[in-house]
Structure 1
Amino acid sequence: MQDRELLQKALQNKNMMVLYRDDLMAPETAGIPVAVENELVVLHRQTNFALDGYAALRTGDITEAEQMDDVPFLKKVLTAEKVYDAVKALGFCCRNWQTLLEGILARYDGWAAVECEGNPEESLYFLGRLQKVDGRYLTMKRVDALGNWLADPLVLPLDEVTLVSFGDRYLETFRKYCK
């Protein structure tokens, strides 16, 4: 990843960044880096001038990193809205998918949204609760858009995972109302 230095600087300075991933389902993600590792970058996600959960992305998928808050107006708004003050470190290890997902199991009751590579004709986005993680696979109990649990657990190879989001209002709402 050629933008590693820029991301390390953004991590230290709490800079708002946009990470681009060409040719993937969610091609851009905005937030403040809270971890920059060899395999993963984790952002405290920003939407509408507020932080809402985290997104972990594979470093190898990042095609460009751009600082957003070098524009005076954005810096002013983000400061006034106390976005920088709200940034929180994860509090668990995230060297790779396995350690990140184990942290999500422990801290977020396993609730996550997982995006993976594959055939665009099939679903590549899964929402639900992680059940198990090992060195090669994750097992997840999925929920559909209507809040119904699907009977069969999903087993995904970790090397196909491209993005995991967790700790956001969207997932908290599903967790609260899914039976």
Structure 2
Amino acid sequence: MTKIEMVNLMKQCVNPHKICRVFFKYGINYWYYFPLIVNEKFFLGAEEDDFILNGYSIRRFKDMKKVEIKDDKCLEINMLEGTVDQLIIPNVDITNWKTIFSSLKAIDHSVIVEQESLIEDECQFVIGRIEKIFNNHVYIRGFDADGVWEDEFYKIPYAEITSVTFGSRYVEIFSKYLPPIK
């Protein structure tokens, strides 16, 4: 599929809400999203997994291979279960990575920032708080699996980012139990 075809298909799914099955160049699996905000470069979608919403992801169209509208029994069940009614469009400006991180910092969400790849050694994953935002990179203060804040910030160039996730069950619940930053 061309990028234009994918952008237009996702725009069709914003209103009324429809589920998209999205395939990425760096993944062997696909993801399900309700697209909420779409521009020519990015989309912000609510992730759907077995009739449950699990936060939001912002991803680049240039990383996508294909998009399919999943207008089937699953959408019907999501509507009957009230999943579609739970969709909330977050106040995030998806113009570019700088505006994305500025918006997320303003609403004070912990985030997961990823560089995904089919080559395992090229994958990066940082979970934490947005600290400093610049034109070409962002600094994230990460925390580890024991809930300990890292002393050093991670400098992440925007060119390496494939996705930013916020509002997921894991991030939100884990963040409640983190100690204050000293």
TM-score normalized by the length of structure 2:
0.89
In structure 2, the residue matched to 1:100 is: 100
Distance 1:32 1:150, change over 3 A: same
Corresponding residue number in structure 2 for 1:33: 35
Farther off after superposition, 52-61 or 27-36: 27-36
Q: Structure 1 residues 173 and 34, CA, compared in 2 at 3 Å: closer, same or farther?
A: same
Do structure 1's residue 21 and structure 2's residue 20 form an aligned pair? Answer: no
Per-residue CA deviation, residues 17-62 of structure 1 (Å, 9 max, x unaligned), is 12110224x8532121011112211101112202121000011001
Q: Which residue of 1, 7, 10 corresponds with 1:7?
A: 10
Mean Cα deviation higher: 157-166 or 142-151? 142-151
Q: Is 1:133 aligned to residue 136 of structure 2? A: no
Q: Please, what TM-score do these two structures have when normalized by structure 1?
A: 0.90
Q: Take 1:98 and 1:23, find their aligned partners in 2: how far apart are those partners?
A: 23
SS in structure 1 at match of 2:149: coil
* Aligned twin of 2:154: 154
Equivalenced residue count is: 175
2:114 is matched with 115
Code of the residue aligned with 1:113 in structure 2: it is I
Aligned partners of 1:155, 1:114: CA distance in 2, in Å? 11
Which 5+ residue runs of structure 2 have no aligned equivalent?
none
Contact between 1:112 and 1:130, CA under 8 Å: does it hold in 2? yes
Give SS of 1:93's match: coil
CA contact (8 A) 1:110 1:131 kept: no
In structure 1, the gaps of 5 or more residues are none
RMSD across aligned C-alpha pairs, in angstroms?
A: 1.7
Report sequence identity in percent. 23
Matched residue, 1:43: 45
> Compared with structure 1, are the counterparts of its residues 123 and 74 closer, same or farther at alpha carbon in structure 2 (3 Å cutoff)?
closer
